[in-house]
Amino acid sequence: MKFSIMVSEGPYTHQATDSAYQFAKAALAKGHEIMRVFFYHDGVNNGTRLTVPPQDDRHIVNRWSELGTKNNIDLVICIAAAQRRGLLDENEAKRQGKNADNIAPGFRISGLGQLVEAGIQSDRLVVFGD
């Protein structure tokens, strides 16, 4: 089965992110495909490379980066939600006249069309968060 996932809660603030990650791992372990993970609303904060959790805590951003890279999962951050929260990739930072970007490896910024496409092309779109 082909799944896509939407995460709309930030890391370390809500169980949704951890649940989405565990769901993705379990689905992959059972031989399913994860086509895309779309990060929306506060969920875009799962894709900032500036996250520095305590050493004895899980590093949620790195977990997503590694899972996406290892399994060829498209990790998409909603551009409108990202801009509102100060997350920019290199191209968007230049376009906005900013001197830095902060998107973690394996993530990319795109629009809501990617969520719609994921819903159409996947067998199931599973939503985590409000």
Residue 5's H or E segment, with its range, is: strand 2-7
Chain segment 41-79, per-residue pLDDT in tens: 999 999 999 999 999 999 999 999 999 999 999 999 999
Chain segment 99-121, per-residue pLDDT in tens: 999 999 999 999 999 999 999 99
Fold for 2-128, please state it: Hypothetical Protein Ychn; Chain: A, (3.40.1260)
Extract the tokens encoding 115.
């969520």
At how many degrees (to 10) do helices 15-29 and 60-71 cross?
A: 30
CA distance 104 to 1: 28
Annotated active-site residue 78? The verdict is yes
Domains in the chain: boundaries: 2-128
| pTM assigned to the model | 0.96
pLDDT over 90 (residue 94): yes
Amino acid, single-letter form, for residue 30: K
Residue from 34, 78, 109, 115 carrying the catalytic annotation: 78
Extract the tokens encoding 2.
């082909």
